[in-house]
Amino acid sequence: MTNKLTWFGHATLGLETDGQRLLIDPFFNGNPAASAKADEVAADFILVTHGHGDHVGDAIQIAKRTGATVIANAEISSWMGRQGVENTHAQHIGGGYHYPFGYLKLTLALHGSALPDGSNGGNPVGFLLTMNDGKKIYLAGDTGLFGDMRLIGEEGLEAAVLPIGDNYTMGPDDALRAVKMLTPKHVIPIHFSTWDVIRQDPADWAARVAKETGAQVHVLKPGEHFSF
Ligand code: NI
Ligand code: MN
């Protein structure tokens, strides 16, 4: 089984696995790095890590158009319901659930989560997905470095998607330390260079990771994908 991870720019990802189409943090319209528009993407499920505008993005609009189920923490999923999203599934940190695309567990993330209208978005999360072929991918979301990434690494990761932009999230140095704790086979850096304040050189970071860890870094351009 091949899984296809597409980076649409910033923190927006598409994941196709076992015939299911997932969008993660779907921020297209108003995203200077976006390689697609909100009205042209497909989704069966939409995963939202936290309430910030660059992650909630166009989730409401896409969910209404496609009928996709929005998966998020309890606070964000009930907020989505109040915005008229018909299908939502609430989870919370430490809890997992079996979906058609695999077993999805919510993880800790160190960040904020206020929603665009100021509503309480609960705690931010990351996602640990065990796909139906048994491969695991960790989507860290917006987060600072935390030592419990070691526990996530113990699960045995095929891939990890990490922010490297600095300023709002881990920067290159801490993201490198994260790779050492997570020990994934593959790493995809995101959440950088969308704006000047998070500008980074991903090739430089990839070289450091290659030198100091056993992980293989895949630096994508918006619109490009990685199959695993
Ligand atoms: Ni954020
Ligand atoms: Mn963000």
The ligand minimizing its distance to the Cα of 27 is 2
Residue 108 has pLDDT above 90, yes or no: yes
pLDDT, tens digit, 9 for 90 and up, residues 109-135 = 999 999 999 999 999 999 999 999 999
Domain coverage including residue 59: 4-227
* Domain count across the chain: 1
pLDDT at residue 1, rounded to an integer: 82
pLDDT, tens digit, 9 for 90 and up, residues 128-148 = 999 999 999 999 999 999 999
136: number of Cβ within 10 Å: 19
When pLDDT is averaged across residues 1-18 and rounded to a whole number, the result is 97
The ligand minimizing its distance to the Cα of 54 is 2
CATH number (domain holding residue 111): 3.60.15.10
- From ligand 1's centre to the CA of 1, what distance in Å? 32
When pLDDT is averaged across residues 65-80 and rounded to a whole number, the result is 98
Return contacts of 197-200, CB within 8 angstroms, 24+ apart. Answer: 197/167, 197/168, 198/165, 198/166, 198/167, 198/168, 198/169, 199/165, 200/164, 200/165, 200/166, 200/171, 200/172
The ligand minimizing its distance to the Cα of 114 is 1
Average pLDDT, the chain: 98
Q: Any idea how long the chain is? A: 228
